[in-house]
Each structure stands twice: as C-alpha cells, then as structure tokens.
Amino acid sequence: MTDLRKTVENFWAFAEARDWSAFADTLAEDVVYTLPQTRERISGRARYTEFNREYPGDWHVRIERIVAEPSQVVTWTHFTVGLEEMYAVSFFTGDASGRISAVTDFWPEPYEPPAGRDHLTERY
Amino acid sequence: MTDLRKTVENFWAFAEARDWSAFADTLAEDVVYTLPQTRERISGRARYTEFNREYPGDWHVRIERIVAEPSQVVTWTHFTVGLEEMYAVSFFTGDASGRISAVTDFWPEPYEPPAGRDHLTERY
C-alpha cells in the first residue's frame, strides 16, 4: 500500500461524495488531466475540480480494480448514470508530496465483435 | 521490477516478433482472456495464442506505460496497423509460477467532446 494508492482511493471517494474541497486537496496545484480519445486537456487544480463538479448526470463511481506503484496508480472504475453503466481506466501520477500531478482517462465503449473469430471466443 | 512485469514485457515483445511459441510460454495453461466491450471471452493457452496469431493486419505494438505490482500488471499500449493508430489498456494477473493467468483488454476509440465544457478544456 503506497501513499499515492490511498490518495487515489480518496480521490474517487470524495468524487462520489461530491466533497469538492477534499477532492481538490488530493490534487497538485498544477495537475494536468488528459483525455486521449477526445484530445482534450485540462490544466490546474481549480479547473479540473470544476470539470468534475460540473459533470452532468447523477453519476456514481466505484473502484473495480486498482494497481499501484509508489508514484503511479491505475484504476479501473465502474460508473452508473441512472440505468446506464460504463467503465473508465485512469492512469495517475504522483508528485513528491503525494498529491496527484497527472490523470489520463480512457472511456471504452461497447462494440460488436468483428467477424471470423467466434471459433475461439464465447460471449458472456 | 517484479517477475510478472518482466513476463508482461516479454508477452508484448513476443507478440510483436510473432514468436508464438515463446508467447504461449508466458501464459498459464488455463489463462482467461476477457474483452468487456464485446463481452467476449477466450479460455486456455492454445486458443488465446491462436487468437493473437490469427489477428488480421500488419499490426505493431509498443508499450507506452506499465504499472506493476507483484501479481498484477497494467499496460497502456500503442498499436499501429498501416496508417491507423490505436491504444489498448490491458490488465494482467499472474499465477504462482509467474505466468499470466488472466488478461482483460480495453480498446478505447476516439470520440467528439460533449458540448458545454470548452470553458475548461483545451484541444491538443
């Protein structure tokens, strides 16, 4: 168990609780948030906290899996918004004080399997 | 650096080299591969190796980032197939002998940013 792991667990718990002051405290002042799928970036604690605070919908999040090194952590999270469910994968980097200095999110969507591989796969 | 980390680095290097015998050696006999986006599952070393061997296109893969604990590893990989580029995120679990016993892959696709947040974001 590393400090950054605990910080990231708090990050998600405070987001779920809409405790934006405590959420902001997990972040470095110059945190950078990156969404490679949309090529969006958000710079700074205030903007990134506001982005989360403004995020629309009655969303709820739980950690499905977490993998942690001392200075980097990955979470696989499960989100629900009403009846809709989705997954996110987030890569966190920590700074020397144990705060989160970078977050990179991926939001994978369901898709239909390509043809020609059902001799190897089963559906669940 | 854990053994599973090294095994996972080899897994990708052997896939890139199309060395399917060495690739299979990184896997537990009863490895389970899961694709949550398509709800597909592949069970067993032989089938999972064959799935990779048959995968169409002249694809090339490199590890962008790796996060490792002793018994679980995550990779963020970058794939190219001709001019097409894509990312994958893979969660690996190891067994007691250091082989890969489970792989869960996510393949996030590009999408357009939702409206109403460009006061906080920049595009890159």
- Residue A76 to residue B67, Cβ atoms within 8 A: no
CATH number of the domain located at residue range(s) A4-106 in this protein: 3.10.450.50
Question: Distance (Å, rounded) from C-alpha A5 to C-alpha A71?
Answer: 9
Question: Distance (Å, rounded) from C-alpha B122 to C-alpha B115?
Answer: 13
Confirm or reject contact between A46 and chain B (CB < 8 A). no
pLDDT digits (tens, 9 = 90+) for B15-41: 999 999 999 999 999 999 999 999 999
The per-residue pLDDT of chain A, averaged, comes to: 95
Question: Distance (Å, rounded) from C-alpha A22 to C-alpha A27?
Answer: 9
Instruction: State mean pLDDT over A90-94.
Output: 98
Report how far apart, in Å, the C-alpha atoms of A39 and of each of A19, B19, B123, B124 are.
Answer: 28, 34, 5, 5
Instruction: State mean pLDDT over B56-82.
Output: 96
Q: How many CB atoms lie within 10 A of CB A118?
A: 11
Look at residue B1 in the predicted model and tell me its pLDDT. Answer: 42
Residue A1 distance to chain B (closest CA, Å): 10
- Residue A106 to residue B106, Cβ atoms within 8 A: yes
Residue A63 distance to chain B (closest CA, Å): 14
Look at residue A1 in the predicted model and tell me its pLDDT. Answer: 42
Q: Which of A49, A43, A93, A88 is nearest to A73 (CA)?
A: A93
Of B115 and A45, the structure prediction assigns the larger pLDDT to A45
* pTM of structure: 0.95
Instruction: State mean pLDDT over B109-123.
Output: 93
The per-residue pLDDT of chain B, averaged, comes to: 95
Confirm or reject contact between B1 and chain A (CB < 8 A). no
- For residues A69 and B73, the answer to whether their CB atoms sit within 8 Å is no
Per-residue pLDDT for B73 more than 70? Answer: yes
Best of A5, A34, A38, A47 to disrupt the B interface (most B CBs within 10 Å) is A38
Least CB–CB distance from B111: residue in A37, A51, A117: A37
Confirm or reject contact between B79 and chain A (CB < 8 A). no
Question: Distance (Å, rounded) from C-alpha A95 to C-alpha A112?
Answer: 40
Domain boundaries, chain A: 4-106
Look at residue A68 in the predicted model and tell me its pLDDT. Answer: 96
Dump strand ranges (E) for chain A.
Answer: 27-35, 40-43, 59-68, 72-81, 84-94, 100-106, 122-123
Least CB–CB distance from B42: residue in A37, A111, A121: A121
A34 interaction partners in chain B (CB closer than 8 Å): 124
